[in-house]
Amino acid sequence: MTDETDHADATQHTPAETEPVDGAELADRLVEASVLTEDERANDLVLADRFQYNWRRRIEHLRGREPTDFLGLLLDTNPETLTVTDEEGLTVSQQGVTVGEWPSEAALVADVAAFVTLGEVFPGWDDLRGSTRDELVARLRVFLESCPACEGALTAEDAETAESAPTVTCEDCGAVVF
């Protein structure tokens, strides 16, 4: 995916971040970058059309490829050093240390596609802390309208306990999206 590793604004440099960024500020920044937009009828944030279109195209492009192909990009490491286990979700480890977990390959595909698409539009993306980038990417997954793996409808299931979040799964292939 050579066309996806070039970040067009690499010359525009903002100072590297040192402090974690809170959730409200992350949302503000996503609006500023035209990733999210205010839906006045719902009085809530929704994906901006253009971002949604580009994100979906990337998801389609990545679907069906080996996860290790793009995990190296997401985790900023050599994919050959990564081990992926698929038991009740994907766990990615490097030399015995867990470096990433996703509820399904579908969720991973959505995140990698969001990562690449955000990298193109988000000011100063390359200078953000890794944890901030991870949070921005994970935050977008709740805006998915169909399954990243098969386009099936997504449905929320009630949380198992009062503390846990509801689970969202695909009605067609059963992938857990989050």
Residues that bind Zn ion (CB under 5 A): 147, 149-150, 152, 170, 172-173, 175
> By C-beta, is 74 or 154 nearer to Zn ion?
154
Tell me the closest approach of the beta carbon of residue 128 to Zn ion, in angstroms: 30
Q: Which residue, 75 or 176, is less far from Zn ion as judged by CB?
A: 176
Residues 6+ apart with CB under 8 A from 10: 126
Q: Minimum distance between the CB of residue 169 and Zn ion, rounded to whole angstroms?
A: 8
Q: Smaller CB distance to Zn ion: residue 107 or 175?
A: 175
CA distances from 109 to 2, 13, 21, 34 (A): 17, 29, 25, 22
Give me the least distance between CB of 170 and Zn ion, in Å please.
Answer: 3
Residues near 167 by beta carbon (within 8 Å), at least 6 away in sequence: 103, 156, 157, 159, 176, 178
